[in-house]
């Protein structure tokens, strides 16, 4: 896809990403916003998403993000990044009536793309890395590099997860040539947590339960706990990764209560479990080793339903390894 050709002549361009935006969602959509602002000076360009966590405030034009979704005309071009429309939240209304829809993503659960033009590459670790491949090198600048770098480090766990490839490192190296304090971005946007975030992390770890001989672990945070520690859903990011880091664990499940008998589910795994399949079964999606969904029922129902699918995969793998 030639990004600028697709936008040629457009008078209005909208960009949005998934609800509860993570580093890749914020980084990729901000990078595209910065790029188009410079390259399409005659177009009105709008960037919509739920208010991102404060740790991303260093991004240039962070204040331009419209979380009120205030726009009342159909966009000539509308970009959906790092998701499919059903997780756009309020921005779905812009997608529905846009004249041209462009989908840039890397979720394996996004089978065909949802746009008139689609670039969906599940083998690539972040939408930011996918987007880098679509931008003209000559038009990159430091602000764009910072935004793309942010997305890449967040979705690869600072180059730790198996979605990191030699090409990821080449892209990151190229971005670092723009000479920004990458170490500060890693520290402040990825590793640093507030006192309250750490407290609820500690509580979630303390109350976690292991099953299947310690190969699976689950923890749940309910609304009263979130109120007690005065935290928002975004403050819970990272808990599931800590659960997955425990020795012997193949699959970690973290739940938090979103409504009456409703839970947001986050799963992380190693090569023993494909959590994108588990999440897809319950109407969600994601990647092989990081996926999520929303489920209804009591916390016990949710855990029982998920664990059946996880255990099935673990048992199938066991059979394969004993047979070979
Ligand atoms: P999370 O556990 O929310 O951090 O999400 C892990 C991965 O799964 C991310 O790539 C998300 O974009 C994706 N994901 C989470 N929830 C859903 C959902 N309900 N539908 C599709 N993808 C999801
Ligand atoms: Mn994302
Ligand atoms: Mn992503």
pLDDT digit string, tens, across residues 295-319: 999 999 999 999 999 999 999 988 7
Fold of the domain spanning 195-323: Diaminopimelate Epimerase; Chain A, domain 1 (3.10.310)
Residue 100 Cα to ligand 3 middle (Å): 22
> Which atom, in ligand 1's list, is nearest to the CA of 294?
19
Question: How high is the pLDDT of residue 318?
Answer: 80
Residue 87 beta carbon below 6 angstroms from any ligand 1 atom? yes
Give the tens place of pLDDT for each residue, 28-49: 999 999 999 999 999 999 999 9
Residues of each domain in the chain carrying CATH 3.10.310.30: 195-323
Class of the CATH-defined domain 3-191: alpha beta
Please state the three-class secondary structure of the chain as a single string: CCHHHHHCCCCEEEEEECCCCCHHHHHHHHHHHHHHHHHCCCCEEEEECCCCCHHHCCCCCHHHCECCCCCCCCCCEEEEECCCHHHCHHHHHHHHHCCEEEEEECCCCCCCCCCCEEEECCCCCCHHHHHHCCCCHHHCCHHHHHHHHHHHHHHCCCCCCCCCCHHHHHHHHHHHCCCCCHHHHHHHHHHCCCHHHHHHHHHHHHCCEEECCCCEEEEEECHHHHHHHCCCHHHHCCHHHHHHCCCCCCEEEEEEEEECCEEEEEEEECCCCCHHHHHHHCCCEECCCEEEEEEECCHHHHHHHHHHHHHHHHHHHHHHHHHC
Q: Within the chain, which residues score under 70 in pLDDT?
A: 321-324
Question: How high is the pLDDT of residue 156?
Answer: 97
Question: How high is the pLDDT of residue 323?
Answer: 62
Question: How high is the pLDDT of residue 73?
Answer: 96
Question: How high is the pLDDT of residue 223?
Answer: 97
Residues of each domain in the chain carrying CATH 3.90.1640.10: 3-191
pTM: 0.93
Question: How high is the pLDDT of residue 321?
Answer: 67
Residue 202 Cα to ligand 2 middle (Å): 24
Residue 286 beta carbon below 6 angstroms from any ligand 1 atom? yes
Shortest-distance Cα residue to atom 10 of ligand 1: 286
Question: How high is the pLDDT of residue 319?
Answer: 74
Residue 301 Cα to ligand 2 middle (Å): 27
Question: How high is the pLDDT of residue 320?
Answer: 74
Residue 93 Cα to ligand 3 middle (Å): 22
Residue 244 beta carbon below 6 angstroms from any ligand 1 atom? no
Q: Which ligand sits nearest to residue 127's alpha carbon? A: 3
**245 is written with which tokens?**
């880091």
């Amino acid at each position: 896809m030639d990004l600028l050709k697709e936008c040629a002549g457009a008078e209005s361009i909208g960009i949005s990403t998934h609800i509860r935006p993570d580093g890749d969602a914020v980084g990729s959509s901000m990078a595209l916003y910065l790029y188009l602002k410079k390259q399409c000076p005659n177009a009105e360009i709008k960037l919509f998403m739920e208010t991102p966590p404060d740790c991303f405030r260093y991004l240039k034009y962070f204040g331009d993000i419209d979380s009120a979704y205030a726009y009342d005309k159909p966009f000539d071009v509308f970009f959906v990044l790092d998701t499919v429309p059903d997780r756009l939240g309020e921005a779905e209304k812009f997608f529905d009536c846009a004249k041209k829809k462009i989908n840039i993503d890397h979720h394996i659960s996004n089978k065909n793309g949802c746009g008139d033009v689609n670039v969906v590459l599940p083998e690539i670790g972040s939408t930011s890395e996918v987007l880098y491949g679509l931008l003209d090198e000559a038009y990159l600048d430091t602000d764009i590099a910072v935004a793309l770098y942010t997305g890449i480090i967040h979705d690869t766990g600072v180059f730790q997860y198996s979605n990191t490839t030699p090409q990821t490192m080449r892209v990151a190296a190229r971005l670092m040539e723009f000479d920004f304090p990458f170490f500060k971005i890693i520290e402040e946007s990825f590793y640093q947590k507030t006192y309250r975030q750490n407290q609820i992390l500690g509580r979630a770890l303390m109350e976690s339960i292991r099953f299947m001989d310690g190969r699976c672990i689950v923890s749940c945070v309910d609304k009263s706990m979130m109120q007690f520690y005065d935290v928002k859903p975004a403050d819970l990011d990272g808990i599931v990764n800590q659960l997955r880091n425990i020795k012997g664990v193949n699959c970690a499940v973290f739940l938090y209560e979103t409504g009456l008998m409703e839970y947001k589910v986050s799963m992380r795994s190693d090569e023993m479990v494909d959590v994108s399949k588990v999440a897809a079964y319950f109407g969600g999606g994601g990647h092989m080793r990081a996926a999520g969904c929303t489920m209804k029922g009591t916390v016990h129902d949710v855990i029982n339903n998920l664990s059946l699918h996880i255990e099935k995969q673990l048992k199938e793998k066991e059979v394969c390894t004993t047979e070979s």
